[in-house]
């Protein structure tokens, strides 16, 4: 069977561009009411019956029969054995990726994640204490899309933050374990791991069961059931983001070899038929060249069926008036991955306001960032980069304000607070402030 990858060819000067462009971008996060109801039922059941419910759902949905939750725990020695059993090349790649991810997140903590305080002129201390969460749950998808790199990207920032208890859950349909995922859990220093998944795993982590400890926050991607369950337990525990389909936007000035860019578009498209790959460039001949490389390279790709569908349904090669316009369009999209494939990426970077990760220059393929450059590959999708950030050490920390008002400070602040408190009709607040004022 022959596959054709035919991304839409658009031009910003077309009269109907705004309409065509909006249509390409459209993706609805609307949830399925049937899924919502089933997830609500599963959560309620796990909350009520604990381990027994988790065992039932694991048997039913994952085809994995177990007599007890103990049988679903992955022991440390099993994780280590998985690591030891890998080819040397994979062991080294995992360790090298983990090292770089760790060192990046340590820099992140140092730059933005330390406690701070100061004293004002009255000797009053003000600041914030930054502390790690006690215990977090990491959801790792299993089955078709089992990504060891996701284990590293979730567990390592938690570790760097200082979380003392990292619980991983990963479904293993029919009991089939992915050795790379187990090995990654070993390398990342996950504290406990269970072969459970779906809404039942999210429920177990959020409510706790006799076997699964209740966590403070749940991170990691999952299918529609997992996303719905995370959204429902939000508030009782923290969650990271709700991920939509993955996307890449490439801003090209036409100087990068077109086969490199074609392969970067493939690397996004191969994830999923809903994934989105868009190329913006002011040079029409370059867009033609990239399309030729797409046509030439596609037959070699094992995942060509997915790539062809993703590019044809959701991909686009867009001719822009200039690079400035390409940057402005990018800001409207707020892409998850943004490649600036240009000779001088630093000329354009300051114009880029919203993106999960910005990959600068022709050598920075998104895939290097996905695995081992260091920054996190868990990124805001579907335009949520307008208001959210990559997963990071800060997701595994929280802050407490620190205030120590000096006696002198209480005299000044007490008057201000009392005026405002009386203004709000809160006399208790006012009197508490006034009591600290010397008469």
**How big is the chain, counted in residues?**
439
Single out the segment in contact with a copy of itself by CB under 8 A; choices: 68-76, 189-197, 233-241, 317-325. 233-241
Nearer to a copy of itself, 70 or 85 (CB): 85
Q: Compute the least distance from the CB of residue 99 to a copy of itself, in Å.
A: 10
Placement of tokens 């490649």 in the chain: 339
4 binds a copy of itself (CB under 8 A): no
Chain centroid to CA 135: 18
Residues 6 or more apart whose CB falls under 8 angstroms from that of 217 comprise 133, 136, 137, 237, 238, 239, 240, 395, 396
Among residues 238, 245, 258, 315, the one that binds a copy of itself under rule CB under 8 A: 238
429 known ligand binder = yes
274 binds a copy of itself (CB under 8 A): no
Is residue 155 within 8 Å of 189, Cβ to Cβ?
A: yes
- Grouping H, G, I as helix, E, B as strand and the rest as coil, residue 375 is coil
Nearer to a copy of itself, 139 or 266 (CB): 266
424 known ligand binder = yes
* DSSP 8-state symbol, 31: P
DSSP labels, 210-276: SSSPP-SEEE----HHHHHHHHHHBTTBEE-------EEEEEE-S-S-HHHHHHHHHHHHTT-TT-E
Nearer to a copy of itself, 62 or 366 (CB): 366
271 known ligand binder = yes
Q: Site mask, a copy of itself, residues 282-321, x = CB under 8 A?
A: -------------------xxx---x--------------
Burial of 333 (0-12, 13-18, 19+ CB in 10 A): buried
* DSSP 8-state symbol, 421: H
Residues 6 or more apart whose CB falls under 8 angstroms from that of 356 comprise 335, 336, 337, 338, 379, 380, 381, 385, 389, 390
Nearer to a copy of itself, 55 or 205 (CB): 205
Size of residue set near a copy of itself by CB under 8 A: 130
CA distance 134 to 205: 13
337 known ligand binder = yes
400 known ligand binder = no
Among residues 42, 97, 156, 280, the one that binds a copy of itself under rule CB under 8 A: 97
Task: Measure the N-to-C terminal CA separation of the chain; round to a whole number of Å.
Answer: 91
Which among 247, 336, 339, 366 is annotated as catalytic?
336
223 known ligand binder = yes
Please confirm, yes or no, whether 336 is among the known catalytic residues: yes
Site for a copy of itself in 162-221 (CB under 8 A): 180, 216-217
36 known ligand binder = no
Which among 105, 159, 191, 337 is annotated as catalytic?
337
Nearer to a copy of itself, 41 or 404 (CB): 404
Among residues 58, 124, 276, 342, the one that binds a copy of itself under rule CB under 8 A: 124
CA distance 311 to 291: 11
Among residues 18, 22, 44, 107, the one that binds a copy of itself under rule CB under 8 A: 107
Site for a copy of itself in 30-89 (CB under 8 A): 89
323 binds a copy of itself (CB under 8 A): no
Q: Site mask, a copy of itself, residues 142-171, x = CB under 8 A?
A: ----xxxx----------------------
Nearest to 346 by CA among 333, 328, 359, 329: 359
Single out the segment in contact with a copy of itself by CB under 8 A; choices: 11-19, 73-81, 187-195, 349-357. 349-357
Single out the segment in contact with a copy of itself by CB under 8 A; choices: 1-9, 200-208, 317-325, 363-371. 363-371
Nearer to a copy of itself, 42 or 130 (CB): 130
Is residue 61 within 8 Å of 174, Cβ to Cβ?
A: no
16 known ligand binder = no
- Grouping H, G, I as helix, E, B as strand and the rest as coil, residue 435 is helix
- Grouping H, G, I as helix, E, B as strand and the rest as coil, residue 386 is helix
397 known ligand binder = no
Q: CA distances (Å), 224 to each of 52, 231, 245, in order?
A: 23, 11, 11
Site for a copy of itself in 364-423 (CB under 8 A): 364-376, 379-380, 384-390, 392, 394, 398-407, 409-410, 413-417, 419-421, 423
Q: Which residues are catalytic?
A: 336-337
């Amino acid at each position: 069977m022959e596959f054709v990858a035919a991304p839409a060819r658009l031009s910003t000067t077309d009269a109907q561009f705004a309409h065509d462009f909006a249509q390409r971008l459209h993706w609805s996060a609307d949830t399925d009411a049937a899924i919502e109801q089933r997830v609500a039922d599963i959560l309620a059941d796990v909350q009520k019956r604990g381990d027994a419910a988790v065992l039932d759902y694991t048997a039913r949905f994952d085809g994995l029969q177990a007599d007890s939750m103990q049988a679903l725990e992955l022991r440390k020695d099993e994780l280590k054995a998985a690591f030891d059993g890998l080819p040397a090349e994979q062991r080294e790649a995992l360790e090298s990726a983990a090292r770089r991810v760790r060192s990046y997140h340590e820099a992140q903590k140092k730059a933005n994640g330390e406690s701070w305080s100061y004293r004002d002129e009255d000797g009053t201390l003000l600041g914030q204490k930054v502390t790690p969460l006690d215990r977090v749950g990491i959801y790792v998808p299993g089955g078709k899309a089992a990504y060891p790199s996701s284990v590293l990207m979730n567990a390592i920032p938690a570790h760097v933050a200082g979380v003392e208890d990292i619980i991983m859950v990963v479904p293993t349909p029919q009991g089939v374990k992915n050795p790379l995922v187990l090995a990654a859990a070993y390398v990342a220093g996950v504290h406990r791991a269970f072969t459970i998944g779906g809404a039942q795993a999210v429920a177990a982590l959020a409510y706790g069961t006799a076997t699964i400890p209740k966590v403070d926050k749940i991170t990691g991607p999952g299918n529609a059931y997992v996303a719905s369950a995370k959204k429902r337990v939000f508030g009782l525990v923290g969650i990271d983001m709700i991920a939509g389909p993955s996307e890449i936007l490439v801003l090209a000035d036409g100087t990068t070899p077109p086969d490199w860019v074609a392969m970067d578009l493939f690397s996004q498209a191969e994830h999923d038929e809903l994934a989105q790959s868009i190329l913006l460039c002011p040079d029409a001949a370059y867009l033609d060249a990239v399309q030729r490389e797409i046509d030439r390279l596609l037959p070699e790709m094992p995942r060509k069926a997915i790539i062809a569908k993703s590019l044809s349904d959701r991909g686009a090669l867009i001719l822009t008036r200039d690079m400035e316009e390409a940057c402005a369009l990018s800001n409207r999209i707020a892409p998850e991955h943004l490649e600036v494939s240009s000779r001088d990426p630093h000329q354009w970077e300051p114009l880029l306001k919203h993106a999960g990760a910005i990959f600068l220059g022709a050598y920075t393929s998104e895939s290097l960032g996905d695995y081992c450059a260091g920054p996190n590959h868990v990124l805001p999708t579907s335009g949520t980069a307008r208001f959210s950030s990559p997963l990071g050490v800060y997701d595994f920390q929280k802050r407490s304000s620190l205030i120590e008002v000096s006696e002198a400070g209480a005299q000044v602040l007490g008057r201000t607070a009392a005026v405002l408190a009386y203004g709000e009709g809160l006399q208790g607040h006012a009197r508490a402030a006034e009591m600290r004022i010397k008469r």
